[in-house]
Amino acid sequence: MSEIALPNVDRTIVSKKDIIVNNLKQFTDKKNVLSELDEIRPYETDALAAYKNLPLAVVLPENTQEVSEILKFCHRENIKVIPRGAGTGLSGGALPLNDAILLGLGKFNKILDIDFDNKCVVTQPGVTNLSITHAVKHKGYYYAPDPSSQLACSIGGNVAENSGGVHSLKYGTTTNNILGVEMVMMDGTICRIGGKTLDQEGYDLLGLICGSEGLLGVITEVTVKILKNPQTVKAALIGFPSIEDGGSCVTDIISNGITPAGMEIMDKALIDATEKFVHAGYPMDAEVLMIVELDGTKSEVEELFKQIKQIAEKNKSNSFKLSKNEKERLGFWSGRKAAFPACGAMAPDYYCMDGTIPRGKLSEILKEISRLSKKYNLGVANGFHAGDGNLHPLILFDGSNKEELRRTEEFGAEILKACVRMGGALSGEHGIGIEKRELMCEAFNDNDIQQQINIKMSLDEKNLLNPGKVYPILRKCAEEGRVHVHRGEEKFPDLPRF
Amino acid sequence: MFTEEKKNSQIFQDSNHLSPTSELEVSELIKEAYKKKFPIDIHGSNSKKFIGYNVQAAKSLDFSNLSGVIEYLPEELYIKVKPGTLIKDIENILEKNNQELSFEPTDFGYLKDGKSNKGTAGGCVSCNFAGSRRFKVGSVRDFILGFRGVNGKGDIIKSGGTVVKNVTGYDLSKLVSGSFGTLVALTEVTLKISAKKPSQNTIIIYEKDPKIISDLFNMVLSSSNEISGAVFVPDEPKSKKFAPNKSKAFKLNDLDQEGDFFAFRIEGDQNSIKERIKDISNEMDLKNYKTSNLDIYQSDLFWKSINSLQLFSETKNNLLRAVVPPSKSEKMMSFLKNKYRYFIDWSGALFWIEVPGDQNIKEVKNTIIQNDGYVTIIKKSEDFEFTEKLFTIDDTKLMISKKIKESFDPRGLFNPGKMYKDF
Amino acid sequence: MQTNFTETQLKDKDNQSSEKIFKKCVHCGMCNATCPTYGILGDELDGPRGRIYLIKDMLENNKKPTEKVVKHIDRCLSCYSCMTTCPAGVNYMHLIDHGKKYIEKNYERSTFDKLIRYFFIYYSSEY
């Protein structure tokens, strides 16, 4: 996991480090430019700590103008730039390069305008997802997408990765919940896309930027839509004796025309782990546990839970518990939300995967994962956003054992390949980043990837903005499959690299 | 394969009207066009052909024969269709499973010749015009899970898939929606579908004061009662320039033909609707207004009329579509009042404005732009002189759009000049 | 996080317990969200995750603290709100104390710095 091919390092850039750093100090306060080894080391990785790489320097601009000046300079001097938000990404999207400037947006941490009349908030990109909700909740509003890291992840990063969360089945992901952005292109051009109006005319540039993983522009302002809190929110815990029963219950609920706000599934391993960790009161006799949350008016929620109960019983559920109050509802979620640390307590390391499958393939993929678990002799715990088919298997391993690390990596790749085979996607919400880059050819052929690269090249013709991410480094990937390269020894040095 | 290629090359030579029946054929034809640098007019059933500039192209590529449902999985909430499939047919298929396209595709048929014509799936996606639920559920672009298509070089490309959550490369499905066929010739689109709500009611409030209407819109947007549509329809200006349509377009038993009215829709099961209407009555103080309640049948007809622009049925005038931040609706209303025929949708954000005469367009356009909105000239009157641009765009975005266009279609063959003069 | 302590280093009791804590940290960054200094400065180095990195680097490599590193560690208010949000239960308190202790032992503060410190100690002992 720690050795992966990166774009070739431009030695001339590295040799000019001092000049570059001095230049950067013209564009922003000089204390915002970090260049000493001690200072830049903590920036060598994001939340996917398996990959580490030092940047040339770190710069923390304070406003859009500064970002524009910095990018203009880098564009002129052919210096690569890696944008970074809160550094909570799980796919290594903010992994620095030795000859690149790391552009941190941590100082863009202010909410600029709360507009209740137009139901939107204009904010700088470094503001965290949850603080937007905090800023509007006194009037009964909230911002819908809620990734698990919503406490810490920045809204700019959410746009870059098109983050979802537990409630994206009903409320969509980031792309469905933003109205506009201001961004700076690699050549320093400042561009406003959208605003306080719904949709935009012409090409949907907002849709293109959302989920572009920082390859097309640096986001310096975001306008998000806020929603009124639902009147009633209730959750139910439903236990099932087998994976098949749980899986078919998910499909039955959806085909009965019910759209839950959230629908989660946990397997036995995860139930055990979390129950030990937080004592959420989960039924221990269940093989599969489902958490269903509904929101809406009181009578509607009650009526739909009646229907869900019937559907669950038809699918042989062995327990059904409806939350009586808000405290109990949050209790139901506490276990699911503690999935990561609970697994952290079970093994020295865990590797969180993020694939998507069609809902109907739920039990099929769970069986495949358990087969692979045996094959690779590694433990795995499964948490799913079942409503939208987004799965997060957590592979348990010991990172200090090199051989186990290798097995983990292969296990993870096989899960994702299975997702694609079943008609799903490589990533639901973490993004491709550096982690799944070489797997892109599982889902796309050369034409598809070439078209995407053409777009990238049309907006960043020198390929300076976040290079080495998302697209396979070795082209002709369809033949190569996953490429594993040791530092310095690239397999095909003459092939064009992107 | 070789002979197939040759055959298509021959077809390309012989005919100016090409009507492929397979993706491969589309790809071959476009490869020919690319080689010979022939511009192509890409279209479906031509239901929205009048929108945008006229395309000057040597060849026309008609997608209406590339039609049919590829895959429909009700429990997975998606339908995969070929681009020429009629929206009407898709809706009929979904209806059988109590499902629908909840973005309510705008029906431009009445505008053209007084009868319904929702066009094809490809056209619907390419134009990205969503109906009254927009502010609640999203636009057409929010319902496209993935597509396959052919780019300007003839390469078959795909993006997205069939699942809602998908962050694998750029989300090209969004880019393609609203591109008026200038980027990709679609060969397959996957649409997200939703369960149809069992019932609906519409409450009509007879009111004309712009301030009050604007407040009502705001209350709709602030309400937690899941209102899924809110419009304001004023009386037509008393002028010969507007052939009266309103009483015909909204001919319903429980709707008074006289006077301006505000209407909102609530969908769900009967009990929930009742409960919510009660709650909203308090929120909006409905007892102070003259109101009426449209039952499920009338409500259905009412919103069909709204989403098919029947107010402007067969108009000879210009029709503008403007989107503004909802807080600007009051200013817009005060400006438009008694001067133009218009109605407001999307709870104060979308204005459909009928403007007779070329010289008035400038005034309307300026007002919209002053109110932070954007405007598209949808239908042009016969004397339209093209002094005003049909789409609004700033220079930076035009530059970016141009670059993106080139990355898909380097020789500028697809629908040249459809959206902007430059490409 | 992976750690790189030598066996000799691990003979030190403080190093031993710190190593265990470093291993617990998954580098998720939740701590930064509730850190008051990160909230104001927006620099990774002024949040708990960055400070842990700085401390780990110093300890593992027996580094002499530089002025800049000391500045960032000094800025920690020891409010420990980060510990309330850490999903992995990292004992940040121990780490920052260890780091501060290491700095006091291995770093020569400027006369001005020392003066200010004496001044504060003097006054706080008055109350």
CATH number at residue B355: 3.40.462.10
A chain contacts of residue C10, beta-carbon cutoff 8 Å: none
- Determine which of A253-262, A275-284, B275-284 has the lowest per-residue pLDDT on average: A275-284
Residues 331-360 of B with CB under 8 A from A: 346, 349-350
Domain boundary among A228, A244, A260: A228
pLDDT at position B224 is: 92
Say if residue B119 is in the same domain as residue B253: no
> Do B35 and B128 lie in a common domain?
yes
**B120 shares a domain with B7:** yes
Predicted confidence at residue A341, as pLDDT, reads: 75
Question: In this structure, are B48 and B169 located in the same domain?
Answer: yes
Amino acid at A12: T
User: What average pLDDT does this structure show over A196-221?
Assistant: 95
Q: Is residue B388 part of a domain?
A: no
Give SS3 for A280: coil
pLDDT score of B228 more than 50? yes
Q: Do B401 and A202 touch (CB under 8 A)?
A: yes
Under 8 Å between Cβ of C83 and C92: yes
Q: How confident is the model at residue C46 (pLDDT cuts 50, 70, 90)?
A: very high
* B145 shares its domain with B20: yes
Same domain (yes/no): B128, B240: no
Chains B and A touch, contact meaning at least 3 pairs of CB atoms under 8 angstroms apart? yes
Query: Is residue A71 assigned to a domain?
Result: no
Average pLDDT for chain A: 90
Nearby residues of A310 by Cβ (< 8 Å), 6 or more positions away: none
Q: Rounded mean pLDDT of chain C?
A: 93
| Domain interval for residue A115 | 111-228
Mean pLDDT of B237-253: 93
Per CB-CB distance under 8 Å, the chain A contacts of C45 are 34, 39, 42
Among C34, C63, C89, the residue with its CB nearest the CB of A341 is: C89
Query: What confidence tier does A493 reach under pLDDT thresholds 50, 70, 90?
Result: very low
| Beta carbons of B374 and A298 less than 8 Å apart | no
pLDDT, one tens digit per residue, over A146-176 is 998 899 999 999 999 999 988 888 999 999 9
Are chains C and B in contact at 3+ CB pairs closer than 8 Å?
A: no
pLDDT > 70? residue C27: yes
A351 and A257 belong to one structural domain: yes
In this predicted structure, the answer to whether residue B217 has a pLDDT above a threshold of 90 is yes
> Does any domain span residue B16?
yes
Q: What are phi and psi of B333, to 5 degrees?
A: -60, -45
Confidence of residue B260 (pLDDT cuts 50, 70, 90): very high
Q: Inspect the interface and report whether the beta carbons of C42 and A87 lie closer than 8 Å.
A: no
pLDDT value of position A335: 85
Residue A142 CA to residue A295 CA, distance in Å, equals 14
Nearest chain C residue to A129 by CA: give it: C33
Structure-token pair, residue A89: 């990404």
pLDDT at B26 over 60: yes
Does residue A283 carry a pLDDT above 60? yes
The average pLDDT across C84-107 equals: 94
**Helix (H, G, I), strand (E, B), or coil: what is residue A75?**
helix
pLDDT for residue B357 is more than 90: no
**What is the rounded CA–CA span in Å between residue A360 and residue A366?**
12
- Say if CB A95 and CB A50 are below 8 A apart: no
What total of structural domains would you count in chain A?
2
Q: Does B372 touch chain A (CB under 8 A)?
A: yes
Q: How far is C12 from chain A (nearest CA, A)?
A: 21
In a domain, A143, yes or no: yes
* Domain endpoint, select from A383, A414, A435: A435
How many contacts (CB atoms, under 8 Å) link A and C?
94
Q: Which residues of C touch A42 (CB under 8 A)?
A: 44-45, 49-50, 53-54
Residues B217 and B177 in one domain: no
Nearest-Cα distance to chain A for C26, in Å, is 7
Q: What CATH number is given to the structural domain containing A198?
A: 3.30.465.10
Instruction: Please report the residues numbered 27 through 66 in chain B whose beta carbons come closer than 8 angstroms to any beta carbon of chain A.
Output: none
Across the interface, do B225 and A231 touch by the CB < 8 Å criterion?
yes
Structure tokens at A183: 């961004």
What percent of the residues of chain B are helix, what percent strand, and what percent coil, each to the nearest 5?
A: 35, 25, 40
From chain C, pick out residues whose CB is under 8 angstroms from the CB of A49: 1-2, 26-27
Interface pTM, i.e. ipTM: 0.94
- Nearest 5°: phi and psi at B281? -55, -40
pLDDT at A3: 66
Q: Between chains, do A42 and C54 touch, taking CB under 8 Å as contact? A: yes
Instruction: With cut-offs at 50, 70 and 90, classify the pLDDT of residue C62.
Output: very high
Yes or no, beta carbons of A360 and B76 under 8 Å apart: yes
Residue B306: give the domain boundaries: 199-379
For A290-318, b/e burial (b = at least 16 CB within 10 A) is bbbbbbbbebbbbbbbeebeebbeebebe
Alpha helices in C1-127 (DSSP H): 13-24, 30-34, 36-41, 48-60, 67-74, 81-85, 92-106, 111-126
Query: Nearest CA to B347 among B328, B334, B365, B366?
Result: B328
Residue A498's pLDDT is 37
Q: Shortest Cα distance from C43 to chain A (angstroms)? A: 6
What is the CATH classification number for the domain harbouring A290? 3.40.462.10
For residue A480, the model assigns a pLDDT of 36
Residue of B94, B165, B188, B278 best to disrupt the A interface, most CBs of A under 10 A: B165
pLDDT in tens, B95-125: 999 999 999 999 999 998 999 999 999 999 9
DSSP alpha helix (H) spans, A315-360: 326-337, 339-346
Say if A108 is an interface residue toward chain C (CB within 8 Å). yes
Is A216 found in the same domain as A249?
A: no
The reply to whether residue A87 touches residue C44, judged by beta carbons under 8 angstroms, is yes
Residue A212 covered by a domain: yes
Q: Residue C44 and residue A338: Cβ atoms within 8 Å?
A: no
Residues A409, A295: one domain?
Answer: yes
pLDDT at residue B392, as a whole number: 86
Residues A299 and A192 in one domain: no
DSSP A419-451: HHHTT-BS-SSS--TTTSGGGHHHH--HHHHHH
Average pLDDT over residues B247-254: 94
Interface of C with A in 27-66 (CB under 8 A): 27-34, 38-39, 41-45, 49-50, 53-54, 57, 63, 66
Q: Are the beta carbons of A303 and B269 separated by less than 8 Å? A: yes
Are the beta carbons of B275 and A140 separated by less than 8 Å?
Answer: no
State the count of interchain CB pairs (< 8 A) between A and B. 255
Angle at Cα C107 formed by Cα C106 and Cα C111, nearest 5°? 145
B258 to chain A, closest Cα gap in Å? 31
Is B386 inside a domain boundary? Answer: no
- The pLDDT of residue A265 is 92
Which residue ranges make up each domain of chain C?
A: 9-126
User: Strands (DSSP E) along A155-231, which ranges?
Assistant: 178-184, 190-194, 218-225, 227-228
Task: Indicate whether A424 and A295 sit together in one domain.
Answer: yes
Q: Which two tokens stand for residue A470?
A: 């998302």
* Cα(B173)–Cα(A479) distance, integer angstroms: 27
Residue A475 has pLDDT above 80, yes or no: no
Task: Show the beta-strand stretches assigned E in B56-155.
Answer: 59-62, 69-73, 78-81, 99-100, 144-150
Quickly state the pLDDT bin for B3 (edges 50, 70, 90).
low
Same domain? B261 vs B322: yes
pLDDT of A474: 61
Tokens in use for A322? 């409806």
From C30, C41, C57, residue closest to A38, measured CB to CB: C57
* Neighbour-count burial for C85-111, b at 16+ CB within 10 Å, e otherwise: bbbbebbbeebbebbbebbeeebeeee
CB contact under 8 A, A358 and B162: yes
d(CA A249, CA A288): 11
Q: How confident is the model at residue B92 (pLDDT cuts 50, 70, 90)?
A: very high
Each residue's pLDDT tens digit, A65-111: 999 999 999 999 999 999 999 999 999 999 999 999 999 999 999 99
**What pLDDT is stored for residue A488 in this prediction?**
36
What pLDDT, in 10s, does the model give residues B263-307? 999 999 999 999 999 999 999 999 999 999 999 999 999 999 999
Location of structure tokens 């931040």 = B325
Assess whether A219 and A252 both reside in one domain.
no
Which of A134, A82, A173 lies closest to A425, judged by CA?
A: A173
Q: What is residue A347's predicted lDDT score, i.e. its pLDDT?
A: 81
Q: Residue A317: what are its φ and ψ, rounded to 5°?
A: -60, 145
**Between B171, B391, B392, which is nearest A210 by CB?**
B171
Our count of domains for chain B comes to 2
* Alpha carbons B184 and B146: distance in angstroms, whole number: 13
B327–A117 C-beta distance less than 8 A: yes
Any idea which of A217-226, A303-312, B291-300, C81-90 has the lowest mean pLDDT?
C81-90
- Same domain, yes or no, for A260 and A400? yes
* Protein fold of C9-126: Fumarate Reductase Iron-sulfur Protein; Chain B, domain 2 (1.10.1060)
* Judgement on whether residues A187 and A262 belong to the same structural domain of the protein: no
Q: Do A49 and C50 touch (CB under 8 A)?
A: no
Same domain membership, residue A165 and residue A246: no
Pairing of strands A232-240, A218-225: unpaired
Which of C28, C31, C67 best probes binding to A when mutated, by most A CB atoms within 10 angstroms?
C28
Model confidence band, residue A497 (pLDDT cutoffs 50, 70, 90) = very low
Strand, coil or helix: what is A351? strand
Domain membership of residue A17 (yes or no) is: no
B129-162, pLDDT tens digit by residue? Answer: 999 999 999 999 999 999 999 999 999 999 999 9
- Model confidence at A454, in pLDDT bands (50, 70, 90)? very high
Query: What pLDDT was estimated at residue A344?
Result: 75
Same domain, A180 and A307: no
Q: What is the reported pLDDT for A50?
A: 83
Q: Cα A140 to chain center, whole Å?
A: 27
